[in-house]
Amino acid sequence: MTTTETVPRLLTIDQLAEQLGITTRHVRRLIAERRVPYLKVGKLVRFDPAEITGWLDGRRVTCGP
């Protein structure tokens, strides 16, 4: 069976921390507090870039009327 949908390239904790400009320790705390969307692949924790983008957009603070 063939599919046209591709599997997204998942990010590691280190990659997410680098992209967000925060420490890996802070990312691990976000995971522990379930404040960031993540996937578990066995014992590994991975992040879908599209979900992270949506998560960031949901936390955007806008100014003005």
Instruction: Using pLDDT thresholds of 50, 70 and 90, give the confidence band for residue 5.
Output: confident
- Cβ-contact 45, 39 below 8 angstroms: yes
The CA-atom distances, in angstroms, between 40 and each of 1, 8, 58, 65 are 26, 15, 22, 40
pLDDT tens-digit profile of 13-45? 999 999 999 999 999 999 999 999 999 999 999
Q: The tokens of 19 are what? A: 């992209």
Task: Return the domain boundaries, the chain.
Answer: 13-58
Alpha helices, DSSP H only, in the chain? Answer: 13-20, 24-32, 49-58
Instruction: Using pLDDT thresholds of 50, 70 and 90, give the confidence band for residue 64.
Output: confident
Q: What is the pLDDT of residue 65?
A: 74
Q: What is the pLDDT of residue 2?
A: 56
Angle at 25 (CA atoms; ends 30, 13), nearest 5 degrees: 75
Indicate whether 47 pLDDT > 70: yes
